């Protein structure tokens, strides 16, 4: 029989197990989150903890992003996402997330120009993209190309680590967009276009995607702004699956590119960043099948049916995803601006209305997440569905970089190596093949 009590005043937790009682320190975060530090649990009691999916386990202490899932709060370095979405832009927010403060004008100009300088790919890197089949998943291309571009970067001398880090940051932010655009143009058989230097990040990306050779793509400012906000909203999200992967890989002292490439692969999954693709395919399937909203909701609730309502639910948000709120408003604005009346948006809205009044979803606190509306906006911009998760990766790049840096700069950093509870065969013997049945 074991019991655990926390004495907030003395900041300790008491665990009694098998007649033994130990005191464990309690860590309190700046937003008053409390954690029991179990670092000495196994050496003191022989016990480890078990927490499937790490639903109750803090893997690190971080200063980058704060989420309050019950209140629908998301802040990058303390600044609410709503303020940044209204007043900032992706590049400035990337600087905030990575370097921990809003940049001065000089710092922002230098950062912007560094990204512009590093946006074009090395000529041979374009050949590497040619090596992928035209039908290759864009996330496969992105994850592979991140280690390819590392190979074209100057060898790290260690003489000026901060300058080398800043170059790597600019390289990853700039080239992620170029890799995405080059992958798209290859798939549609269009030659690439050169990047524009003095053009805002999102506008330059749309130019790289849609410009005809020799001309400049004239993106509607509202559309470019909406894309910039989508990237900004995806920029970080504390210890989600892909960011935890970046930290895990970085904890072995793997370099930034290798760690980020691993994060891209983690994001790929349909339960994580791949959900934005699944949402659009789900909405399109509902439209073509003619299934009623009630039938779709019934399937989502049916435990015997593998179908789930993609774009709904979240491990942390149990009230609403503040990003989904902003994107829902943006979807209305972009579609009306582009004069597009999207049936899929109507289906999405009806799904949300019905689900939010259904006890199954209400009891399980399932609300639209960041992926529910983002794809509708990107589709209206002409971005193909298969690129949606790459767009998510482009947006998440600052958060991955900032988290890798926290691990890399922490002198007390240790390699991530979880324990397990072994459930396999107890002691066994080798049997010669002639004696096996």
- Catalytic sites, residue numbers: 314, 371
66 binds ligand SDX (CB under 6 A): no
In the complex with ligand SDX, the residue whose CB is nearer, 206 or 233, is 233
Q: Could you say which residues in the range 269-298 bind ligand SDX, by CB under 6 A?
A: 271-272, 275
State the Cα–Cα distance between residues 328 and 335, nearest whole angstrom: 11
263 binds ligand SDX (CB under 6 A): no
Q: What minimum distance in Å lies between the beta carbon of 108 and ligand SDX?
A: 25
In the complex with ligand SDX, the residue whose CB is nearer, 107 or 406, is 406
In the complex with ligand SDX, the residue whose CB is nearer, 94 or 300, is 300
Give the orientation angle of helix 90-99 with respect to helix 161-187, to 10 degrees.
140
Helix (H) or strand (E) holding 391: helix 388-409
Q: Which residue is nearest to ligand SDX (CB)?
A: 313
Query: What's the distance, Cα to Cα, between the start and end of the chain in Å?
Result: 44
Q: What minimum distance in Å lies between the beta carbon of 172 and ligand SDX?
A: 18
Burial of 183 (0-12, 13-18, 19+ CB in 10 A): buried
In the complex with ligand SDX, the residue whose CB is nearer, 7 or 31, is 31
Q: What minimum distance in Å lies between the beta carbon of 196 and ligand SDX?
A: 29
Q: What is the DSSP string of 305-351?
A: S----TTB--SS-SS--HHHHHHHHHHHHHHHHTT---HHHHHHHHH
In the complex with ligand SDX, the residue whose CB is nearer, 68 or 222, is 68
Dihedral angle, C-alpha 151, 263, 387, 348, nearest 10 °: -170
Part of the chain binding ligand SDX (CB under 6 A), chosen from 39-47, 302-310, 324-332, 378-386? 302-310
Site map (CB under 6 A) of ligand SDX, residues 33-62, x = contact? --------------------x---------
Q: Is the dihedral of CA 124, 129, 131, 134 positive or negative?
A: negative
Part of the chain binding ligand SDX (CB under 6 A), chosen from 33-41, 136-144, 182-190, 366-374? 366-374
Determine which residue in the list 141, 261, 371, 393 makes contact with ligand SDX, applying CB under 6 A.
371
Q: What minimum distance in Å lies between the beta carbon of 398 and ligand SDX?
A: 13
In the complex with ligand SDX, the residue whose CB is nearer, 27 or 271, is 271
In the complex with ligand SDX, the residue whose CB is nearer, 204 or 240, is 240
Determine which residue in the list 369, 374, 389, 403 makes contact with ligand SDX, applying CB under 6 A.
369
The residues near 202 (Cβ < 8 Å, ≥ 6 apart) are 90, 219, 224, 225, 227, 228, 231
Q: What minimum distance in Å lies between the beta carbon of 307 and ligand SDX?
A: 8
Q: Choose among 63, 21, 23: nearest CA to 39.
A: 23
State the Cα–Cα distance between residues 201 and 434, nearest whole angstrom: 67
Q: Could you say which residues in the range 306-345 bind ligand SDX, by CB under 6 A?
A: 308-316
Q: What minimum distance in Å lies between the beta carbon of 395 and ligand SDX?
A: 9
Part of the chain binding ligand SDX (CB under 6 A), chosen from 159-167, 257-265, 335-343, 367-375? 367-375
Give the orientation angle of helix 256-267 with respect to helix 161-187, to 10 degrees.
40
- For 420, the token pair is 């397990």
Determine which residue in the list 24, 283, 296, 300 makes contact with ligand SDX, applying CB under 6 A.
300
What DSSP designation does 410 have? -
Q: How many residues bind ligand SDX (CB under 6 A)?
A: 21
The structure tokens 């049945």 sit at: 437
Contact 264, 246 (CB under 8 A): no
Q: What minimum distance in Å lies between the beta carbon of 301 and ligand SDX?
A: 7
Q: Could you say which residues in the range 226-245 bind ligand SDX, by CB under 6 A?
A: 237, 240
Q: What minimum distance in Å lies between the beta carbon of 403 and ligand SDX?
A: 12
Q: Choose among 213, 214, 196, 121: nearest CA to 205.
A: 196
373 binds ligand SDX (CB under 6 A): no
Q: What is the DSSP string of 109-146?
A: HHHHHHHHHH-SPPHHHHHHHHTS-TTS-HHHHHHHHH
In the complex with ligand SDX, the residue whose CB is nearer, 52 or 162, is 52
State the Cα–Cα distance between residues 204 and 211, nearest whole angstrom: 10
370 binds ligand SDX (CB under 6 A): yes
In the complex with ligand SDX, the residue whose CB is nearer, 282 or 380, is 282
Residues that bind ligand SDX (CB under 6 A): 53, 237, 240, 271-272, 275, 300, 308-316, 364, 366, 369-371
């Amino acid at each position: 029989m074991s019991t655990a009590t926390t004495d907030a005043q003395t900041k300790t937790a008491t665990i009694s197990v098998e007649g033994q009682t130990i005191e464990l320190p309690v860590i309190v975060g700046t937003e008053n989150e409390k954690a029991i530090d179990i670092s000495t649990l196994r050496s003191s009691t022989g016990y480890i903890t078990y927490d499937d999916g790490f639903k109750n386990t803090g893997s690190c202490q971080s200063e980058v992003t704060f989420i309050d899932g019950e209140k629908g709060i998301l802040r990058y370095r303390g600044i609410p996402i709503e303020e940044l979405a209204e007043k900032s832009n992706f590049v400035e927010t990337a600087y905030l997330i990575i370097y921990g403060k809003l940049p001065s004008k000089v710092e922002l100009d230098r950062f912007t120009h560094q990204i512009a300088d590093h946006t074009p790919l090395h000529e041979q890197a374009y050949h590497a993209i040619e090596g992928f089949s035209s039908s290759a998943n864009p996330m496969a291309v992105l994850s592979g190309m991140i280690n390819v571009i590392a190979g074209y970067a100057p060898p790290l001398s260690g003489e000026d680590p901060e300058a080398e880090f800043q170059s790597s940051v600019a390289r990853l932010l700039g080239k992620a967009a170029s890799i995405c655009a080059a992958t798209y143009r290859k798939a549609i058989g269009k030659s690439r276009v050169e990047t524009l230097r003095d053009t805002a990040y999102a506008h330059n990306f749309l130019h790289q995607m849609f410009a005809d050779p020799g001309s400049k793509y004239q993106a509607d400012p509202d559309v470019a702004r909406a894309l910039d906000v989508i990237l900004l909203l995806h920029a970080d999200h504390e210890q989600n699956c892909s960011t935890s992967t970046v930290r895990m890989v970085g904890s072995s002292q793997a370099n930034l590119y290798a760690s980020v490439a691993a994060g891209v692969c983690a994001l790929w999954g349909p339960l994580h960043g791949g959900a934005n693709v699944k949402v659009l395919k789900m909405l399109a399937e509902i439209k073509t099948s003619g299934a009623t909203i009630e039938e779709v909701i019934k399937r989502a609730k049916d435990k015997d049916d593998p179908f789930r309502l993609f774009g709904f639910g979240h491990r942390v948000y149990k009230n609403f995803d503040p990003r989904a709120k902003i994107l829902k408003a943006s979807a209305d604005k972009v579609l009306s601006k582009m004069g597009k009346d999207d049936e899929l948006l109507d289906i999405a809205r009806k799904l949300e209305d019905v689900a939010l009044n259904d006890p199954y979803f209400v009891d399980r606190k399932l609300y639209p997440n960041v992926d529910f509306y983002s794809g509708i906006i990107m589709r209206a911009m002409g971005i193909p569905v298969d690129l949606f998760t790459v767009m998510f990766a482009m947006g998440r790049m600052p958060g991955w970089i900032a988290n890798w840096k926290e691990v890399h700069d922490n002198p007390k950093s240790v390699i991530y190596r979880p324990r397990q509870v072994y459930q396999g065969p107890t002691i066994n013997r080798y049997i010669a093949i002639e004696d096996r049945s």
